[in-house]
Amino acid sequence: MKVKIGAFLGGLVFGVGLAIGGMTQPAKIVGFFDFFGSWDPSLAFVMGGALVVYTPVYRWAIRTWQRPIWAPAFSLPTRSDIDWRLVLGSGIFGIGWGLGGYCPGPAFTSVGAGSREALIFGLAMLAGVGAYQVLMRVREGRAGGPSDRPAATVIDG
């Protein structure tokens, strides 16, 4: 129960921060990527502010605590390699973000505020996640096992 309360409170703070920073407005995001038109640097300030707050707190917590408050252990990434799927996925994410003006956090925050466009974006994103999972299962079936260990972990939960 404590984990769910912690996740809810973290998500609430994140969503409120996105709304206050204006990051739930696609025009702000598209304006940031409009370098040769009416460029809007506010996204850079929001990201910079987040890094200024997050980085020292993260470093302090990792050094000081044995484990998170509401979880049995820290869940830190173990992979450091860069492969074609990471580059391709990052590219698709960036293109979608630049064209649509939404990434997952602001999209779901905007869905909660009743945005029809964000709902369509969120449903399309979930369809893409589902399609990836189906393709990975088909690929696993042909290969006789998981072809991507990290993805298999996410898929099988």
Rg (CA), the chain: 18
Tell me the percentage of the chain whose pLDDT exceeds 70. Answer: 89
Instruction: Show the domain range for 47.
Output: 2-156
Category of 101 on φ-ψ map: left (φ > 0), alpha (ψ -120 to 50) or beta: left
Answer yes or no: are the C-beta atoms of 66 and 56 closer than 8 Å: no
HEC string for 80-148: CCCCHHHHHHHHHHHHHHHHHCCCHHHHHHHHHCCCHHHHHHHHHHHHHHHHHHHHHHHHHHHHCCCCC
> What's the DSSP call for residue 69?
T
> What's the DSSP call for residue 72?
S
pTM for the model: 0.64
Taking only the tens place, the pLDDT of each residue in 91-112 is 988 888 888 888 888 888 888 8
How many structural domains is the chain composed of?
Answer: 1
pLDDT at 32 over 70: yes
> What's the DSSP call for residue 21?
T
Q: What pLDDT score was predicted for residue 130? A: 92
83 by DSSP, 3-state: which? coil
> What's the DSSP call for residue 23?
T
Q: What pLDDT score was predicted for residue 157? A: 47
Q: What pLDDT score was predicted for residue 29? A: 84
Strand ranges (E), 25-85: none
For 91, half-sphere exposure in the C-beta direction (CA atoms, 13 angstrom radius) is 6
136: which 2 tokens?
A: 């990975």
Taking only the tens place, the pLDDT of each residue in 58-92 is 899 888 988 887 778 888 888 889 998 889 989 98
